[in-house]
Amino acid sequence: MKKIGILNGEISSVVSKMGHKDLIAIGDCGLPIPDKTKRIDIALSKDIPSFIDTLKNVLLELQVEEVILATETEENNPKVFMEIKKQFKNVKFTFITHEELKVMLNECKAIIRTGEQTPYANIILKSGVIF
């Protein structure tokens, strides 16, 4: 049994296989996931697990060089936006429309679907390197 880090086998597997500039997304339970993109569905019930808890756990193991968010996030979900900003130091933030973000999901290695039920609680993380 794994002792530390991400215990979910699918998430751990995807993160361990990511290379520089690969993309992974974390989304609320309403985010449309393209058929061709790996879906890691961890939603149990309303807000369980939360978007922020899931993000924090992924960040325990993933080196991130860029955060991609919908421009609508800050205005429509300021609480989640502020929590996202707290998680990153010296990381580039790129803002695109929610529609552009949904198109970009096609480029992700996987999308983690949480139980989050607040608007625009979605993020794409671009993998960095640790050296």
pLDDT digits (tens, 9 = 90+) for 74-107: 999 999 999 999 999 999 999 999 999 999 999 9
For range 98-125, the mean pLDDT = 98
Q: 9, 13, 16, 20: which is the annotated catalytic residue?
A: 20
Main-chain phi, psi angles of 15, to 5 degrees: -60, -40
Rg of the chain over all Cα atoms, to the nearest angstrom? 14
pLDDT of residue 13: 97
Residue 122 counted as an annotated binding residue: yes
CB-count exposure of residue 82 (10 Å: 0-12, 13-18, 19+):
exposed
- E-strand ranges in the chain read 23-27, 38-41, 64-70, 92-96, 110-113, 123-127
| Active site (annotated) includes residue 108 | no
Residue 28 counted as an annotated binding residue: yes
Lowest mean pLDDT among 4-8, 47-51, 58-62, 75-79: 4-8
Token pair of 73, please?
């996030």
Residue 98 counted as an annotated binding residue: yes
All domains in the chain, ordered by first residue: 9-127 (3.40.1650.10)
pLDDT of residue 81: 98
pLDDT of residue 65: 98
SS3 53: helix
Quote the percentage of the chain above a pLDDT of 90: 95
